[in-house]
Structure 1
Amino acid sequence: MHINWKSNVALPSYDDAELTEALNRRVRDATDDDLLSSFLHYAEGCVAMSAYTDFDQLLTKLLAEETDSRKLHGDDDSPLKFEYRQANYRLHRDLTAEVTKAQKIRDEIGNVWHALRSATPEGLNHRYRPNADPAESGLDSIGPLIRALDPMWHRLCIILAQHRDTVHELALRDAEFQAFAATAGSITLEQFNGMAPLEFEQAVANLTQRDGHVVEQRHGGARDLGADVIATTPDGRRIVFQCKHRRPGGRPLGSPVIQTLNGTARPVHNADIVIAVTNASFTTPAHKLAAEQEIHLLFGEQLRKWATWGVPLLSVLELEASLAMRAA
Protein backbone atom coordinates (compact mmCIF):
# COMPACT_ATOMS: atom_id res chain seq x y z
CA MET A 1 0.00 0.00 0.00
CA HIS A 2 1.33 3.44 -0.89
CA ILE A 3 0.60 6.41 1.34
CA ASN A 4 0.36 9.45 -0.90
CA TRP A 5 0.53 12.20 1.70
CA LYS A 6 3.28 13.50 3.90
CA SER A 7 3.45 11.89 7.33
CA ASN A 8 5.73 12.00 10.34
CA VAL A 9 4.64 8.51 11.26
CA ALA A 10 7.24 5.76 10.73
CA LEU A 11 6.84 2.04 10.87
CA PRO A 12 8.29 0.62 14.08
CA SER A 13 11.41 -1.50 13.87
CA TYR A 14 11.53 -4.32 16.40
CA ASP A 15 14.58 -6.14 17.71
CA ASP A 16 13.06 -9.27 16.27
CA ALA A 17 13.56 -9.06 12.48
CA GLU A 18 10.83 -11.59 11.72
CA LEU A 19 8.34 -9.54 13.71
CA THR A 20 9.32 -6.39 11.83
CA GLU A 21 8.94 -8.16 8.50
CA ALA A 22 5.54 -9.55 9.47
CA LEU A 23 4.33 -6.05 10.26
CA ASN A 24 5.75 -4.64 7.01
CA ARG A 25 4.09 -7.39 5.03
CA ARG A 26 0.78 -6.66 6.69
CA VAL A 27 1.10 -2.97 5.78
CA ARG A 28 2.10 -3.74 2.20
CA ASP A 29 -0.91 -5.97 1.72
CA ALA A 30 -3.35 -3.40 3.17
CA THR A 31 -5.75 -1.60 0.85
CA ASP A 32 -7.07 1.94 1.06
CA ASP A 33 -10.32 0.47 2.37
CA ASP A 34 -8.38 -1.32 5.10
CA LEU A 35 -6.70 1.92 6.11
CA LEU A 36 -9.86 4.01 6.19
CA SER A 37 -11.97 1.38 7.93
CA SER A 38 -9.26 0.91 10.57
CA PHE A 39 -9.16 4.65 11.18
CA LEU A 40 -12.96 4.84 11.40
CA HIS A 41 -12.93 1.95 13.83
CA TYR A 42 -10.30 3.71 15.94
CA ALA A 43 -12.28 6.99 15.79
CA GLU A 44 -15.45 5.25 16.97
CA GLY A 45 -13.49 3.78 19.83
CA CYS A 46 -12.21 7.26 20.75
CA VAL A 47 -15.74 8.66 20.76
CA ALA A 48 -16.95 5.82 22.98
CA MET A 49 -13.99 6.13 25.33
CA SER A 50 -14.42 9.91 25.57
CA ALA A 51 -18.08 9.45 26.52
CA TYR A 52 -17.13 6.76 29.02
CA THR A 53 -14.53 9.06 30.59
CA ASP A 54 -17.02 11.93 30.84
CA PHE A 55 -19.54 9.78 32.71
CA ASP A 56 -16.81 8.25 34.83
CA GLN A 57 -15.83 11.75 35.99
CA LEU A 58 -19.46 12.51 36.80
CA LEU A 59 -19.77 9.22 38.67
CA THR A 60 -16.60 9.95 40.64
CA LYS A 61 -18.01 13.32 41.72
CA LEU A 62 -21.38 11.77 42.62
CA LEU A 63 -19.76 9.01 44.67
CA ALA A 64 -17.64 11.56 46.53
CA GLU A 65 -20.71 13.65 47.35
CA GLU A 66 -22.67 10.54 48.35
CA THR A 67 -19.85 9.46 50.67
CA ASP A 68 -19.74 12.92 52.24
CA SER A 69 -23.52 12.88 52.69
CA ARG A 70 -23.16 9.82 54.92
CA LYS A 71 -21.07 11.90 57.32
CA LEU A 72 -23.67 14.63 57.76
CA HIS A 73 -25.44 14.70 61.11
CA GLY A 74 -27.76 17.23 62.65
CA ASP A 75 -27.11 18.76 66.03
CA ASP A 76 -28.66 16.35 68.53
CA ASP A 77 -29.04 19.26 70.94
CA SER A 78 -31.21 21.19 68.48
CA PRO A 79 -35.01 21.23 68.36
CA LEU A 80 -34.60 20.87 64.60
CA LYS A 81 -32.52 17.71 64.72
CA PHE A 82 -35.27 15.72 62.99
CA GLU A 83 -35.49 18.33 60.21
CA TYR A 84 -31.70 18.20 59.81
CA ARG A 85 -31.87 14.42 59.52
CA GLN A 86 -34.65 14.66 56.95
CA ALA A 87 -32.63 17.11 54.84
CA ASN A 88 -29.55 14.90 55.01
CA TYR A 89 -31.61 11.82 54.17
CA ARG A 90 -33.10 13.52 51.10
CA LEU A 91 -29.61 14.56 49.97
CA HIS A 92 -28.26 11.03 50.35
CA ARG A 93 -31.35 9.51 48.67
CA ASP A 94 -31.14 11.84 45.66
CA LEU A 95 -27.38 11.37 45.27
CA THR A 96 -27.75 7.59 45.46
CA ALA A 97 -30.36 7.70 42.68
CA GLU A 98 -28.02 9.80 40.51
CA VAL A 99 -25.12 7.43 41.23
CA THR A 100 -27.20 4.47 40.06
CA LYS A 101 -28.21 6.29 36.88
CA ALA A 102 -24.69 7.50 36.06
CA GLN A 103 -23.21 4.07 36.72
CA LYS A 104 -25.76 2.42 34.43
CA ILE A 105 -25.05 4.84 31.58
CA ARG A 106 -21.29 4.59 32.01
CA ASP A 107 -21.45 0.80 31.94
CA GLU A 108 -23.65 0.81 28.82
CA ILE A 109 -21.10 3.02 27.06
CA GLY A 110 -18.33 0.74 28.32
CA ASN A 111 -20.11 -2.24 26.79
CA VAL A 112 -20.18 -0.46 23.41
CA TRP A 113 -16.48 0.31 23.68
CA HIS A 114 -15.65 -3.31 24.53
CA ALA A 115 -17.75 -4.48 21.57
CA LEU A 116 -15.80 -2.17 19.29
CA ARG A 117 -12.54 -3.34 20.82
CA SER A 118 -13.36 -6.97 20.14
CA ALA A 119 -14.26 -6.40 16.47
CA THR A 120 -11.89 -8.28 14.16
CA PRO A 121 -10.00 -6.46 11.39
CA GLU A 122 -11.54 -8.77 8.78
CA GLY A 123 -14.99 -7.44 9.63
CA LEU A 124 -14.15 -3.74 9.45
CA ASN A 125 -14.50 -3.24 5.69
CA HIS A 126 -17.88 -4.94 5.78
CA ARG A 127 -19.04 -2.67 8.56
CA TYR A 128 -18.01 0.52 6.80
CA ARG A 129 -19.28 -0.34 3.32
CA PRO A 130 -21.62 2.16 1.60
CA ASN A 131 -25.18 2.06 2.96
CA ALA A 132 -24.05 0.03 5.97
CA ASP A 133 -26.23 0.15 9.08
CA PRO A 134 -24.60 2.54 11.61
CA ALA A 135 -26.22 0.59 14.41
CA GLU A 136 -24.00 -2.35 13.59
CA SER A 137 -21.06 -0.72 15.36
CA GLY A 138 -23.18 -0.08 18.45
CA LEU A 139 -21.91 3.50 18.70
CA ASP A 140 -25.22 4.96 17.57
CA SER A 141 -26.85 3.65 20.75
CA ILE A 142 -24.81 5.92 23.01
CA GLY A 143 -26.00 9.15 21.35
CA PRO A 144 -28.99 9.61 23.69
CA LEU A 145 -26.81 8.60 26.62
CA ILE A 146 -24.24 11.30 25.86
CA ARG A 147 -27.00 13.92 25.75
CA ALA A 148 -27.90 13.01 29.33
CA LEU A 149 -24.51 14.17 30.64
CA ASP A 150 -25.10 17.93 30.92
CA PRO A 151 -28.59 17.56 32.48
CA MET A 152 -27.13 15.18 35.06
CA TRP A 153 -24.39 17.63 35.99
CA HIS A 154 -27.09 20.29 36.27
CA ARG A 155 -29.21 17.99 38.41
CA LEU A 156 -26.24 17.43 40.76
CA CYS A 157 -25.82 21.19 41.16
CA ILE A 158 -29.52 21.55 41.97
CA ILE A 159 -29.44 18.75 44.55
CA LEU A 160 -26.44 20.27 46.34
CA ALA A 161 -27.87 23.80 46.16
CA GLN A 162 -31.24 22.70 47.55
CA HIS A 163 -29.54 20.97 50.48
CA ARG A 164 -27.40 24.03 51.19
CA ASP A 165 -30.45 26.29 51.13
CA THR A 166 -32.41 23.96 53.41
CA VAL A 167 -29.60 23.66 55.93
CA HIS A 168 -29.04 27.42 55.82
CA GLU A 169 -32.72 28.03 56.60
CA LEU A 170 -32.59 25.51 59.43
CA ALA A 171 -29.48 27.19 60.84
CA LEU A 172 -31.26 30.56 60.90
CA ARG A 173 -34.24 29.04 62.70
CA ASP A 174 -31.89 27.24 65.05
CA ALA A 175 -30.23 30.52 65.93
CA GLU A 176 -33.61 31.88 67.02
CA PHE A 177 -34.18 28.87 69.27
CA GLN A 178 -30.70 29.25 70.75
CA ALA A 179 -31.44 32.89 71.45
CA PHE A 180 -34.70 32.00 73.22
CA ALA A 181 -32.92 29.33 75.28
CA ALA A 182 -30.71 32.07 76.70
CA THR A 183 -33.69 34.06 78.01
CA ALA A 184 -35.44 33.82 81.37
CA GLY A 185 -38.52 32.42 79.63
CA SER A 186 -36.71 29.19 78.80
CA ILE A 187 -37.24 26.24 81.16
CA THR A 188 -34.90 23.25 81.00
CA LEU A 189 -35.84 19.67 81.79
CA GLU A 190 -33.49 19.85 84.76
CA GLN A 191 -35.42 22.83 86.10
CA PHE A 192 -38.67 20.90 85.68
CA ASN A 193 -37.18 18.03 87.67
CA GLY A 194 -36.41 20.39 90.55
CA MET A 195 -39.95 21.77 90.78
CA ALA A 196 -42.74 20.83 93.15
CA PRO A 197 -45.98 19.51 91.55
CA LEU A 198 -47.74 22.87 91.94
CA GLU A 199 -44.79 24.73 90.42
CA PHE A 200 -44.86 22.31 87.51
CA GLU A 201 -48.54 23.06 86.85
CA GLN A 202 -47.96 26.80 87.05
CA ALA A 203 -45.01 26.52 84.67
CA VAL A 204 -47.24 24.72 82.16
CA ALA A 205 -49.83 27.48 82.53
CA ASN A 206 -47.20 30.20 81.98
CA LEU A 207 -45.88 28.46 78.86
CA THR A 208 -49.41 28.12 77.51
CA GLN A 209 -50.04 31.81 78.08
CA ARG A 210 -46.73 32.65 76.42
CA ASP A 211 -48.02 31.04 73.22
CA GLY A 212 -51.01 33.38 73.11
CA HIS A 213 -53.63 31.09 74.63
CA VAL A 214 -56.06 32.37 77.26
CA VAL A 215 -55.47 30.47 80.51
CA GLU A 216 -58.66 29.90 82.49
CA GLN A 217 -57.26 27.58 85.18
CA ARG A 218 -53.63 27.64 86.28
CA HIS A 219 -53.45 24.60 88.57
CA GLY A 220 -55.48 21.67 89.79
CA GLY A 221 -56.77 20.65 93.16
CA ALA A 222 -58.63 17.96 95.06
CA ARG A 223 -61.70 18.35 92.84
CA ASP A 224 -60.11 19.23 89.51
CA LEU A 225 -61.65 16.15 87.84
CA GLY A 226 -58.49 15.40 85.87
CA ALA A 227 -57.85 18.96 84.67
CA ASP A 228 -54.89 20.87 86.09
CA VAL A 229 -54.54 23.60 83.47
CA ILE A 230 -57.30 24.76 81.13
CA ALA A 231 -56.82 27.25 78.28
CA THR A 232 -58.46 28.42 75.07
CA THR A 233 -56.69 28.84 71.73
CA PRO A 234 -57.13 32.00 69.61
CA ASP A 235 -59.55 30.10 67.38
CA GLY A 236 -61.68 29.02 70.34
CA ARG A 237 -60.49 25.47 70.96
CA ARG A 238 -60.36 24.34 74.56
CA ILE A 239 -57.12 22.76 75.84
CA VAL A 240 -57.11 20.57 78.95
CA PHE A 241 -53.81 19.57 80.58
CA GLN A 242 -53.28 16.84 83.12
CA CYS A 243 -49.90 17.57 84.73
CA LYS A 244 -47.96 14.76 86.39
CA HIS A 245 -44.69 15.68 88.05
CA ARG A 246 -42.26 12.95 89.05
CA ARG A 247 -38.98 12.97 90.88
CA PRO A 248 -35.98 12.19 88.63
CA GLY A 249 -35.70 8.47 88.06
CA GLY A 250 -39.35 7.85 88.87
CA ARG A 251 -41.39 5.20 87.11
CA PRO A 252 -43.11 6.00 83.81
CA LEU A 253 -46.79 6.94 83.96
CA GLY A 254 -49.13 4.10 83.11
CA SER A 255 -52.45 3.81 81.32
CA PRO A 256 -54.59 4.55 84.43
CA VAL A 257 -53.54 8.21 84.15
CA ILE A 258 -54.74 8.26 80.55
CA GLN A 259 -57.97 6.48 81.45
CA THR A 260 -58.79 9.08 84.11
CA LEU A 261 -58.01 11.97 81.79
CA ASN A 262 -60.01 10.43 78.96
CA GLY A 263 -63.01 10.00 81.25
CA THR A 264 -63.28 13.69 82.15
CA ALA A 265 -61.42 15.90 79.64
CA ARG A 266 -64.06 15.85 76.92
CA PRO A 267 -67.27 14.81 78.77
CA VAL A 268 -66.74 17.14 81.75
CA HIS A 269 -64.41 19.93 80.56
CA ASN A 270 -65.49 20.05 76.89
CA ALA A 271 -61.89 19.72 75.72
CA ASP A 272 -60.97 19.93 72.05
CA ILE A 273 -57.29 19.21 72.74
CA VAL A 274 -56.36 16.85 75.56
CA ILE A 275 -52.77 16.74 76.83
CA ALA A 276 -51.02 14.66 79.47
CA VAL A 277 -47.74 16.38 80.35
CA THR A 278 -44.96 15.08 82.59
CA ASN A 279 -41.28 15.55 83.29
CA ALA A 280 -40.99 11.74 83.33
CA SER A 281 -42.26 9.40 80.58
CA PHE A 282 -45.14 7.04 79.72
CA THR A 283 -45.44 3.27 79.48
CA THR A 284 -46.18 1.49 76.21
CA PRO A 285 -49.81 0.77 77.23
CA ALA A 286 -50.23 4.47 78.04
CA HIS A 287 -48.94 5.41 74.59
CA LYS A 288 -51.31 2.94 72.96
CA LEU A 289 -54.37 4.13 74.87
CA ALA A 290 -53.49 7.78 74.27
CA ALA A 291 -53.23 7.18 70.52
CA GLU A 292 -56.58 5.40 70.46
CA GLN A 293 -58.29 8.25 72.35
CA GLU A 294 -56.51 11.10 70.55
CA ILE A 295 -54.77 12.28 73.69
CA HIS A 296 -51.42 14.05 73.27
CA LEU A 297 -48.49 12.97 75.44
CA LEU A 298 -46.11 15.83 76.13
CA PHE A 299 -42.78 14.81 77.66
CA GLY A 300 -39.07 14.43 76.92
CA GLU A 301 -37.96 16.03 73.65
CA GLN A 302 -41.39 17.49 72.89
CA LEU A 303 -41.54 19.12 76.31
CA ARG A 304 -38.03 20.41 75.76
CA LYS A 305 -38.99 21.92 72.39
CA TRP A 306 -41.87 23.74 73.98
CA ALA A 307 -40.28 24.87 77.23
CA THR A 308 -36.56 25.16 76.50
CA TRP A 309 -36.50 26.21 72.86
CA GLY A 310 -39.73 28.20 72.69
CA VAL A 311 -41.45 26.22 69.93
CA PRO A 312 -45.21 26.99 70.17
CA LEU A 313 -47.36 24.27 71.70
CA LEU A 314 -49.55 23.72 68.64
CA SER A 315 -46.44 23.39 66.48
CA VAL A 316 -44.94 20.84 68.87
CA LEU A 317 -48.20 18.87 68.75
CA GLU A 318 -48.37 19.31 64.95
CA LEU A 319 -51.75 21.05 65.25
CA GLU A 320 -50.85 24.33 63.54
CA ALA A 321 -52.21 23.15 60.18
CA SER A 322 -55.57 22.53 61.80
CA LEU A 323 -55.49 26.02 63.32
CA ALA A 324 -54.69 27.59 59.95
CA MET A 325 -57.58 25.75 58.27
CA ARG A 326 -60.02 27.02 60.91
CA ALA A 327 -58.72 30.58 60.51
CA ALA A 328 -59.22 30.37 56.74
Structure 2
Amino acid sequence: MKKRTRRQLQSWSAVVGAGTVVWCAAHWAAVWPVLVAVLAATAAGGAGWGLWRAHRAAVGQDRQWRAQEEAKARELSMTQVDALSWQEFETYVASLCRRDGCTKVIVSGRSGDLGADVVGYLADGRKLVIQCKKYAPHRSVSSHDMQKFVGTARPEHGADVALFVTTGRNFTKDALGLAVRQDIVALHRDLLGAWVKGAHLATLIPLNGSGGGRGRRL
Protein backbone atom coordinates (compact mmCIF):
# COMPACT_ATOMS: atom_id res chain seq x y z
CA MET A 1 0.00 0.00 0.00
CA LYS A 2 2.79 2.40 0.96
CA LYS A 3 4.76 1.56 -2.19
CA ARG A 4 1.72 2.25 -4.35
CA THR A 5 1.09 5.57 -2.62
CA ARG A 6 4.69 6.52 -3.12
CA ARG A 7 4.50 5.61 -6.83
CA GLN A 8 1.33 7.68 -7.18
CA LEU A 9 3.00 10.69 -5.54
CA GLN A 10 6.00 10.32 -7.81
CA SER A 11 3.73 10.10 -10.85
CA TRP A 12 1.78 13.18 -9.83
CA SER A 13 5.01 15.05 -9.14
CA ALA A 14 6.28 14.13 -12.60
CA VAL A 15 3.00 15.27 -14.18
CA VAL A 16 3.01 18.56 -12.28
CA GLY A 17 6.66 19.13 -13.14
CA ALA A 18 6.09 18.43 -16.80
CA GLY A 19 3.03 20.64 -16.81
CA THR A 20 4.99 23.45 -15.19
CA VAL A 21 7.71 23.16 -17.80
CA VAL A 22 5.19 23.17 -20.64
CA TRP A 23 3.34 26.16 -19.16
CA CYS A 24 6.58 28.11 -18.64
CA ALA A 25 7.65 27.35 -22.22
CA ALA A 26 4.30 28.58 -23.52
CA HIS A 27 4.42 31.75 -21.43
CA TRP A 28 8.17 32.31 -21.44
CA ALA A 29 7.92 35.98 -22.37
CA ALA A 30 6.00 36.63 -19.16
CA VAL A 31 7.93 34.16 -16.99
CA TRP A 32 11.56 35.02 -17.64
CA PRO A 33 11.48 38.60 -16.18
CA VAL A 34 9.99 37.18 -12.96
CA LEU A 35 12.56 34.38 -12.90
CA VAL A 36 15.41 36.83 -13.44
CA ALA A 37 14.06 39.09 -10.69
CA VAL A 38 13.81 36.17 -8.25
CA LEU A 39 17.35 35.02 -9.03
CA ALA A 40 18.68 38.58 -8.70
CA ALA A 41 16.90 39.05 -5.38
CA THR A 42 18.28 35.76 -4.12
CA ALA A 43 21.82 36.70 -5.17
CA ALA A 44 21.51 40.17 -3.62
CA GLY A 45 20.18 38.70 -0.42
CA GLY A 46 23.05 36.23 -0.24
CA ALA A 47 25.60 38.96 -0.90
CA GLY A 48 23.99 41.21 1.70
CA TRP A 49 24.04 38.44 4.27
CA GLY A 50 27.71 37.79 3.53
CA LEU A 51 28.59 41.48 3.86
CA TRP A 52 26.65 41.75 7.13
CA ARG A 53 28.48 38.77 8.59
CA ALA A 54 31.83 40.14 7.43
CA HIS A 55 30.99 43.52 8.99
CA ARG A 56 30.03 41.92 12.30
CA ALA A 57 33.25 39.91 12.31
CA ALA A 58 35.33 43.03 11.57
CA VAL A 59 33.58 45.00 14.32
CA GLY A 60 34.19 42.18 16.77
CA GLN A 61 37.86 41.98 15.87
CA ASP A 62 38.22 45.77 16.17
CA ARG A 63 36.64 45.76 19.64
CA GLN A 64 38.89 42.94 20.75
CA TRP A 65 41.98 44.72 19.38
CA ARG A 66 41.06 48.00 21.10
CA ALA A 67 40.43 46.19 24.38
CA GLN A 68 43.88 44.62 24.14
CA GLU A 69 45.47 47.99 23.33
CA GLU A 70 43.67 49.61 26.28
CA ALA A 71 44.84 46.86 28.61
CA LYS A 72 48.43 47.29 27.44
CA ALA A 73 48.20 51.08 27.72
CA ARG A 74 46.92 51.03 31.30
CA GLU A 75 49.01 48.33 32.81
CA LEU A 76 51.99 50.57 33.68
CA SER A 77 52.57 53.01 36.52
CA MET A 78 54.79 56.06 36.04
CA THR A 79 57.53 54.22 37.90
CA GLN A 80 57.30 51.46 35.32
CA VAL A 81 57.24 54.02 32.51
CA ASP A 82 60.51 55.43 33.90
CA ALA A 83 62.03 51.97 33.63
CA LEU A 84 61.26 51.70 29.89
CA SER A 85 63.94 52.18 27.30
CA TRP A 86 63.42 55.07 24.90
CA GLN A 87 62.31 52.61 22.21
CA GLU A 88 59.80 50.98 24.58
CA PHE A 89 58.56 54.42 25.62
CA GLU A 90 57.78 55.35 22.02
CA THR A 91 55.91 52.07 21.55
CA TYR A 92 53.99 52.72 24.77
CA VAL A 93 52.99 56.22 23.65
CA ALA A 94 51.72 54.69 20.40
CA SER A 95 49.56 52.26 22.40
CA LEU A 96 48.09 55.18 24.36
CA CYS A 97 47.17 56.84 21.05
CA ARG A 98 45.46 53.67 19.81
CA ARG A 99 43.61 53.33 23.09
CA ASP A 100 42.15 56.80 22.55
CA GLY A 101 40.89 56.03 19.05
CA CYS A 102 43.80 57.15 16.89
CA THR A 103 44.23 55.26 13.63
CA LYS A 104 47.14 54.29 11.38
CA VAL A 105 49.51 54.74 14.31
CA ILE A 106 53.11 53.82 13.59
CA VAL A 107 56.31 54.11 15.59
CA SER A 108 58.88 55.70 13.33
CA GLY A 109 61.44 56.69 15.93
CA ARG A 110 64.94 56.07 14.59
CA SER A 111 68.04 57.99 13.68
CA GLY A 112 67.12 60.64 11.12
CA ASP A 113 63.37 60.58 11.80
CA LEU A 114 63.38 64.40 12.13
CA GLY A 115 61.40 64.36 15.35
CA ALA A 116 58.52 62.14 14.21
CA ASP A 117 58.77 59.32 16.75
CA VAL A 118 55.08 58.40 16.52
CA VAL A 119 52.74 59.27 13.66
CA GLY A 120 49.01 58.62 13.36
CA TYR A 121 45.61 60.20 12.89
CA LEU A 122 43.18 61.46 15.51
CA ALA A 123 39.61 60.22 15.44
CA ASP A 124 38.54 63.39 13.61
CA GLY A 125 41.07 62.74 10.81
CA ARG A 126 43.78 65.23 11.78
CA LYS A 127 47.36 64.06 11.39
CA LEU A 128 49.18 63.61 14.69
CA VAL A 129 52.98 63.80 14.95
CA ILE A 130 54.63 63.07 18.31
CA GLN A 131 58.12 63.73 19.58
CA CYS A 132 58.94 61.49 22.57
CA LYS A 133 61.68 62.43 25.05
CA LYS A 134 62.51 59.74 27.58
CA TYR A 135 64.17 61.91 30.23
CA ALA A 136 64.91 61.35 33.91
CA PRO A 137 62.05 62.61 36.13
CA HIS A 138 64.06 65.64 37.34
CA ARG A 139 65.03 66.91 33.87
CA SER A 140 63.31 69.62 31.81
CA VAL A 141 62.95 69.86 28.04
CA SER A 142 65.12 72.67 26.71
CA SER A 143 64.31 75.35 24.19
CA HIS A 144 66.82 73.73 21.83
CA ASP A 145 64.84 70.46 21.86
CA MET A 146 61.62 72.35 21.19
CA GLN A 147 63.18 74.38 18.35
CA LYS A 148 64.17 71.22 16.50
CA PHE A 149 60.64 69.81 16.74
CA VAL A 150 59.06 73.12 15.68
CA GLY A 151 61.30 73.07 12.60
CA THR A 152 60.11 69.64 11.43
CA ALA A 153 56.64 68.84 12.83
CA ARG A 154 54.71 70.79 10.22
CA PRO A 155 57.23 71.69 7.49
CA GLU A 156 58.57 68.14 7.18
CA HIS A 157 55.75 65.92 8.44
CA GLY A 158 52.61 67.95 7.73
CA ALA A 159 51.28 67.68 11.29
CA ASP A 160 47.85 69.05 12.08
CA VAL A 161 48.52 68.36 15.75
CA ALA A 162 52.14 68.34 16.95
CA LEU A 163 52.67 66.75 20.38
CA PHE A 164 55.86 66.85 22.44
CA VAL A 165 55.63 64.33 25.29
CA THR A 166 58.27 63.76 27.93
CA THR A 167 58.84 61.83 31.12
CA GLY A 168 60.75 64.89 32.39
CA ARG A 169 59.23 67.12 35.04
CA ASN A 170 58.63 70.12 32.82
CA PHE A 171 59.59 72.30 29.87
CA THR A 172 61.82 75.30 30.42
CA LYS A 173 60.15 78.71 30.27
CA ASP A 174 61.63 79.39 26.83
CA ALA A 175 60.66 75.94 25.54
CA LEU A 176 57.07 76.27 26.75
CA GLY A 177 56.77 79.81 25.36
CA LEU A 178 57.96 78.57 21.97
CA ALA A 179 55.53 75.67 22.10
CA VAL A 180 52.59 77.99 22.80
CA ARG A 181 53.57 80.42 20.04
CA GLN A 182 54.07 77.64 17.49
CA ASP A 183 51.00 75.64 18.53
CA ILE A 184 52.97 72.65 19.81
CA VAL A 185 51.19 70.61 22.48
CA ALA A 186 53.59 70.18 25.40
CA LEU A 187 52.89 67.18 27.67
CA HIS A 188 55.21 67.17 30.68
CA ARG A 189 55.37 64.48 33.36
CA ASP A 190 52.18 65.44 35.20
CA LEU A 191 50.08 65.43 32.03
CA LEU A 192 51.71 62.23 30.83
CA GLY A 193 50.82 60.66 34.17
CA ALA A 194 47.19 61.66 33.67
CA TRP A 195 47.28 60.15 30.17
CA VAL A 196 48.73 56.90 31.53
CA LYS A 197 45.99 56.77 34.18
CA GLY A 198 43.25 56.97 31.58
CA ALA A 199 42.70 60.63 30.65
CA HIS A 200 41.75 60.88 26.97
CA LEU A 201 44.24 62.54 24.65
CA ALA A 202 41.53 64.89 23.37
CA THR A 203 41.13 66.34 26.89
CA LEU A 204 44.88 66.81 27.33
CA ILE A 205 45.63 68.62 24.07
CA PRO A 206 44.00 71.92 25.14
CA LEU A 207 46.01 71.99 28.40
CA ASN A 208 49.34 72.37 26.57
CA GLY A 209 51.90 72.45 29.36
CA SER A 210 49.62 73.55 32.18
CA GLY A 211 48.91 71.56 35.31
CA GLY A 212 52.02 71.90 37.42
CA GLY A 213 55.01 69.96 36.21
CA ARG A 214 56.65 70.33 39.62
CA GLY A 215 58.64 67.14 39.47
CA ARG A 216 56.29 65.19 41.69
CA ARG A 217 55.84 61.54 40.86
CA LEU A 218 52.39 60.38 39.85
* TM norm. shorter chain > 0.5: yes
8 Å CA contact retained: 1:226, 1:265: yes
Q: Please point out which of 96, 103, 113 is paired with 1:214.
A: 103
Partner Cα separation in structure 2 for residue 284 and residue 215 of structure 1: 34
Q: Please point out which of 166, 173, 176 is paired with 1:284.
A: 173
Summarize the Cα distance change of 1:219–1:189 in structure 2 as closer, same or farther, 3 Å threshold.
farther
Report the alpha carbon displacement of residue 189 of structure 1 after superposing the two structures with TM.
1.7
8 Å CA contact retained: 1:215, 1:229: no
Bigger Rg, which one: 1
Partner Cα separation in structure 2 for residue 204 and residue 215 of structure 1: 14
Partner Cα separation in structure 2 for residue 290 and residue 312 of structure 1: 21
Report the alpha carbon displacement of residue 257 of structure 1 after superposing the two structures with TM.
1.1
Q: Please point out which of 301, 305, 315 is paired with 2:194.
A: 305
8 Å CA contact retained: 1:205, 1:215: no
Report the alpha carbon displacement of residue 266 of structure 1 after superposing the two structures with TM.
0.5
Q: Please point out which of 135, 150, 164 is paired with 1:262.
A: 150
Partner SS for 1:225:
coil
Q: Structure 1: which 4+ aligned runs deviate by more than 6 Å? A: none
Query: Number of matched residues?
Result: 135
Q: State the partner residue of 2:92.
A: 203
Report the alpha carbon displacement of residue 203 of structure 1 after superposing the two structures with TM.
0.4
Q: State the partner residue of 2:126.
A: 237
Partner Cα separation in structure 1 for residue 106 and residue 113 of structure 2: 10
Report the alpha carbon displacement of residue 318 of structure 1 after superposing the two structures with TM.
3.0
Q: Please point out which of 243, 247, 254 is paired with 2:136.
A: 247
Amino acid at match of 2:143: S
8 Å CA contact retained: 2:73, 2:92: no
Partner Cα separation in structure 2 for residue 317 and residue 234 of structure 1: 13
Q: What percentage of aligned pairs have identical amino acids?
A: 38
Q: State the partner residue of 2:42.
A: none
Amino acid at match of 2:204: V
Summarize the Cα distance change of 1:314–1:292 in structure 2 as closer, same or farther, 3 Å threshold.
same
Question: TM-score under structure 1 normalisation?
Answer: 0.39
Partner Cα separation in structure 2 for residue 304 and residue 273 of structure 1: 20
Partner Cα separation in structure 2 for residue 252 and residue 272 of structure 1: 25
Alignment of structure 1 residues 125-274 onto 2, 5 Å: 185-186=73-74, 187-249=76-138, 251-274=139-162
Ranges in structure 2 where 5+ consecutive residues have no aligned partner: 1-70, 208-218
Summarize the Cα distance change of 1:305–1:292 in structure 2 as closer, same or farther, 3 Å threshold.
same
8 Å CA contact retained: 1:275, 1:296: yes
Partner SS for 2:141:
coil
Amino acid at match of 2:149: L
Amino acid at match of 1:274: A
Report the alpha carbon displacement of residue 195 of structure 1 after superposing the two structures with TM.
0.8
Report the alpha carbon displacement of residue 255 of structure 1 after superposing the two structures with TM.
0.7
Q: State the partner residue of 1:113.
A: none
Question: Higher strand share goes to which structure?
Answer: 2
Report the alpha carbon displacement of residue 184 of structure 1 after superposing the two structures with TM.
5.6
Partner Cα separation in structure 2 for residue 245 and residue 302 of structure 1: 14
Question: TM-score under structure 2 normalisation?
Answer: 0.58
CA-to-partner distance for each residue in 1:43-73, whole Å, 9 max, x for gaps?
A: xxxxxxxxxxxxxxxxxxxxxxxxxxxxxxx
CA-to-partner distance for each residue in 1:94-123, whole Å, 9 max, x for gaps?
A: xxxxxxxxxxxxxxxxxxxxxxxxxxxxxx
Amino acid at match of 1:239: L
8 Å CA contact retained: 2:137, 2:189: no
8 Å CA contact retained: 2:86, 2:134: yes
CA-to-partner distance for each residue in 1:10-61, whole Å, 9 max, x for gaps?
A: xxxxxxxxxxxxxxxxxxxxxxxxxxxxxxxxxxxxxxxxxxxxxxxxxxxx
Partner Cα separation in structure 2 for residue 229 and residue 185 of structure 1: 15
Alignment of structure 1 residues 38-77 onto 2, 5 Å: none
Partner Cα separation in structure 2 for residue 307 and residue 203 of structure 1: 10
Partner Cα separation in structure 2 for residue 184 and residue 241 of structure 1: 19
Alignment of structure 1 residues 12-91 onto 2, 5 Å: none
Summarize the Cα distance change of 1:185–1:236 in structure 2 as closer, same or farther, 3 Å threshold.
closer
